[in-house]
Structure formats: structure tokens, C-alpha cells
Amino acid sequence: MSPSPRPTEPAVTVGLSGGVDSAVSALLLQRRGARVSAVFMKNWEADDREGYCAAAQDLADAQAVCERLGVALEAVNFSDAYWDRVFERFLADHRAGLTPNPDVLCNQEIKFHAFLEHALNRGADRIATGHYARVEHAGGRFRLLRGADPEKDQSYFLYTLGQGVLGRVEFPVGHLTKPEVRRLAAEAGLPNHARKGSTGICFIGERRFRPFLARFLPLSPGEIRTLEGEVVGHHEGLAFYTLGQRRGLGIGGRRGARAAPWFVLAKDLGRNVLVVAQDHEHPALLSKVLTLREIHWVAGSAPAGRLDCTARIRYRQKDQPCRATPLSEDRCRVEFARPQWAATPGQSVVFYDGDECLGGGVIEPSDPAGIEARGSG
């Protein structure tokens, strides 16, 4: 049996999604003796005729977990905040030719801002989520560490969290592997112990991306051209494509052309042209130096001078050796030891020193003038 919570134990509100990770987080906190409550966050209310949204089932699963654990559950609607702080930015970035990462912004603005404020206002001492990450207090500051399970580590999506937030956050499953989490859930009789993990856009879920985005952004058809300016197809709108994309271009076999796949090299917003080539290792897809904006350092301040560390330009990428040089308070230059493939404007570069997540920033668009000039014919 879990120990009865004592008034001196911290009051922790768990963000309960209906999934097994947050459920086991509540279980572990309860076993520790914490005063546990739970919040189910509803963050999307747009018409869902296609049936992709599983919010009702998620809530039912969260309720079943709370009934099993004897934990009070509050359903809170953050959909207005999500639309204003996350989804509007998501759409604006796509209009600007970027490929944003909504999970990073969702964590920053909803899970660790709106939810945290709500919980603290309701009397919680801190919040907990089912993220695979760890927080350590050492040397007078909080350190954000990778989750113990390298296959599930989610620190990449948490690099915007600062010292004030980390001091109020717990990640109870961060020291566990996914199989260990499922085993604990099964042993405790949690009803969702075998539930499939969630994927897709944060709080919106799994969807066919192009039809979903087309509901909010108008189609803007244009030409698909090679670097030499030859028209090889037509696109539906630059917002629906990303750097390095191979599938969905609709470029069929062409007389005299190599039987090789096509890749997106650039998006020319000025002329509404998608630039492509038949070369996975084309120089336009390789970047050794990047400029980042919206820089955030977990420690609260930029390192003094240049920083030799590792970085990821996308989730699940292996760490890449690099050197980061702050340019200003919110911009940074990154030089990698080896060229990086399809470093996509709008995506995040996240820095690491061993297991510690140091911070990160958003990739700025590079000047496409060279590619555009060569593609103008």
C-alpha cells in the first residue's frame, strides 16, 4: 500500500494525459507519500469530424487511473491559451516558410506555464509530468538531464525551461526505462498499462498533416523547379513542404532524367517556387555553420565565450560535436565538426554536455539568394 500523505509532504499536481507515463508518475509520487492531485489538460477544441482527436478517450483513461489510485482529477480547458500562444505561432511560422516544432512551444507555454500557474494557484507546491527527463540540483542551480532511457529521452523538447520552472517540476519516470514503467503500471493494476504511446502534434494528436494544415492555411499553388530553372512539377503551397522532404512531391519519371528520388532544397517565398534536386548529399542540404535565434540557456545566462559541446538538430539524432559562440543575448552561431543534413529553419538545435541539457535555439533561415539565382533560369 502507498503511505498516507502527511500535511508536511509536498502537494504535487500531476499533468495526467491518460497515458501510462503520467499515470506511473502519479503512482510513484503517491508511494513516496506526496499529496497528489491531477489535472487533465484539454487544449484543442477545433472541429474534429475526421475523428483523430482522442480527447474523450484520454479523459476516460485519466479518470480510470485516478479512480484506481484514489486521486482527485480536475479537467481544465487551456484551449484559448494553446491557440493564442502555440497554434497561432505554428501557423505564422509555416506562412513564413519555416518548419516549427510545436512540442517545444507547447511545453514552454502550456505544460510548464499555464498548467504550472494553475496548479500553484490551486495550492500545489510543484507539478509533475510523465516526461523522460531528470532534474538535479547541484552547485546552487538546477540542471536538466537526459532521461535514463535513451530511446525515450525527451530533454530535447524541454530546453526552454528555466531555473524558476525546474525548481517547481518533477519528472518521476525520468530514471526509468519504458519497459520498467509498463511493468510498474501492470503490477499496480493501472487500467492503461498496455496503452499505446501518443504521437503527433502536441495536444492535437495523430493526423494526416497536409489536409489538417490546409484547414487553416490557404492553398497557394506554384512551380517546382530544378536548380537550372526547369519546371518539373507543381506544389500546393510552400507551407506544406520542408527542407530535405522526399515523399509527396508528385514528380513522376522524366525522359532523360536519372531514376533517383527528388529532395526539397529550398523554398523561394518571393516567387512561390519549390527548388528540388536528385541528390541526397547535395551541398544545399549540408550545413556546417548555423545561426540560431530565440536562444535559451537552462542555467539562466549564456556561457562566457565559445562553448565546445554536442548538439542535436532534430529529435533522436545522435549527438554532434560542435562549437557554440554567443552573438547576442538571444542569438548564437554554431559550427559543427561535420556538415549536418537538412538543418531546417524553424527547428531547434539543442546543446548538451554529457547528460546535461544546456539549452538551445531556433534555426534561422539562411540566405537563399545563391540557390534562387541558380534556379531562376
Burial of 295 (0-12, 13-18, 19+ CB in 10 A): buried
| Residue pair 359/298 in contact by the 8 Å Cβ criterion | yes
- Give 201's DSSP letter: B
Q: Per the residue annotation, which of 202, 309, 332, 357 is the catalytic one?
A: 202
> Residue 71 is placed in which grid cell?
486521486
Calpha distance 270→36 (Å, rounded): 54
> Residue 49 is placed in which grid cell?
469530424
Respond yes or no: is residue 106 known to be catalytic. Answer: yes
Count other C-beta atoms under 10 Å from residue 369's C-beta: 9
| Angle, in degrees to the nearest 10, between helices 178-187 and 20-32 | 70
Rg of the chain in Å (alpha carbons): 23
Q: Which residue has the cell 554532434?
A: 320
Phi, psi dihedrals of residue 162, rounded to the nearest 5°: -105, -175
Calpha distance 185→175 (Å, rounded): 15
Count other C-beta atoms under 10 Å from residue 260's C-beta: 10
- DSSP labels, 219-271: ---EEEEETT--EEEEES-GGG--TT--TT------TT--S---EEEEEETTT
Calpha distance 362→162 (Å, rounded): 17
Reported as type and span, the H/E element at residue 128 is strand 126-128
Calpha distance 267→11 (Å, rounded): 50
- Residues, the chain, total? 377
> Residue 257 is placed in which grid cell?
532524367
Reported as type and span, the H/E element at residue 93 is helix 88-95
Respond yes or no: is residue 202 known to be catalytic. Answer: yes
Which sign, positive or negative, has the C-alpha torsion 104, 106, 109, 112?
A: negative
Q: Per the residue annotation, which of 53, 66, 106, 322 is the catalytic one?
A: 106
Task: Give me the active site residues, please.
Answer: 106, 202
